[in-house]
Amino acid sequence: MEHIEEHPGFEAAREAAEYIAEKTGVSRHDIALTLGSGWSEAADLIGETTHTLNAAEVPGFHAPSVPGHVGTLRSVLTPKGTRVLVLGARTHFYEGKGVRAVVHGVRTAAAAGATTMILTNGCGSLRGEWLPGTPVIVSDHINMTAASPLEGATFVDLTSLYSPRIAEVARGVDSSLPSGVYAQLTGPHYETPAEIRALRTLGADLVGMSTALEAIAARHAGMEVFALSLVTNLAAGSTEASLDHQEVIAAGKEAGPRISRLLAEIVASL
Ligand code: 8IG
């Protein structure tokens, strides 16, 4: 079997990790955290930000193209002394930069030494009882992108991809947290009501445009994976209303204090 370091994309990740180590003076990070829609301020309680880098300056990263997304990489020191690499710049599949670009942040985190990958996202809910502002633990995913971050005959097991151990830790922090199956679609359009009915039949509870491909890359890199979704809208057809990006930003603002505390307490408990 090929060594992971030889997989396409890892060389670029190693370069980015070296750049981060050099600019921050932090040779190793323990945990990495990707901030999705609605989560941009949720990392502020985790610890002290000791260094901030502009994503565009770090090899292989791109400034985000989405309003409400922040284009920085930060090194955060927790009160316990854990080093967290906060990735505020996610490349989405719909940007057309290829799957390697989509998972570059995850691979960079792995190359920077992180053994835990925490992925957050904003998503639509297929469950009427999970209203906008509800955080949900991702228990599993359905990859509807017809793509993979793995190239060549790289057969990676995805059983228990989303760490049951960290899900337990999260429920220890907030026992009311539900968990559900996340379907990643390519976007950038939202779904039709018929597509949402089809996804419900397939077993999806949440729908979004990120996370699954990144989780696969994180597993391939040997990381423990945890994902938290913030419901920012009911999926298409759930109500008479149409979907718009302003609603997504508003739901994130509203849920801000709760999800910030949640994330900080989970990280502190790892
Ligand atoms: I935020 O309803 C957010 N991202 N595909 N559907 C899809 N992606 C999303 C949605 C949604 N809400």
Domain of 166: which CATH number? 3.40.50.1580
Of 129, 151, 191, 247, which is the active-site residue? 191
Query: Counting every residue, how long is the chain?
Result: 270
The alpha carbon torsion through 126, 129, 135, 137 (nearest 10 deg) reads -60
Give the closest residue (by CA) to ligand 1 atom 7. Answer: 208
**Total of domains in the chain:** 1
Give the closest residue (by CA) to ligand 1 atom 2. Answer: 124
The answer to whether 191 is a known catalytic residue is: yes
From ligand 1's centre to the CA of 260, what distance in Å?
21
Strand partners, 121: 229
From first to last of the 270 residues of the chain, give the pLDDT tens digit: 567 788 888 999 999 999 999 999 999 999 999 998 888 888 889 999 999 999 989 999 987 666 655 589 999 999 999 999 999 878 999 999 999 999 999 999 999 999 999 999 999 999 999 988 999 999 999 999 999 999 988 899 999 999 999 999 999 999 999 999 999 999 999 999 999 999 999 999 999 999 999 999 999 999 999 999 999 999 988 877 666 677 766 776 778 889 999 999 999 999
From ligand 1's centre to the CA of 234, what distance in Å?
9
Indicate the pairing of strand 72-77 with strand 135-143. Answer: unpaired
Per-residue pLDDT at 67? 62
- pTM of this structure: 0.94
CA–CA dist 100, 36 (Å, integer):
18
Enclosing domain of residue 48: 4-269
Give the closest residue (by CA) to ligand 1 atom 9. Answer: 208
CA nearest 28: which of 119, 108, 120?
108
Per-residue pLDDT at 32? 97
Work out the burial of residue 237: count CB atoms within 10 Å of its CB; fewer than 13 is exposed, 13-18 middle, 19 or more buried: middle
CA–CA dist 230, 143 (Å, integer):
18
Per-residue pLDDT at 143? 98
Tell me the CB-side half-sphere exposure of residue 83, using CA atoms within 13 A.
Answer: 18
CA Rg, the chain, in Å?
Answer: 17
191 Cβ below 6 A of ligand 1: yes
Peptide bond into 193 cis (omega under 30): no
- DSSP class of residue 215 equals H
CA–CA dist 225, 138 (Å, integer):
10
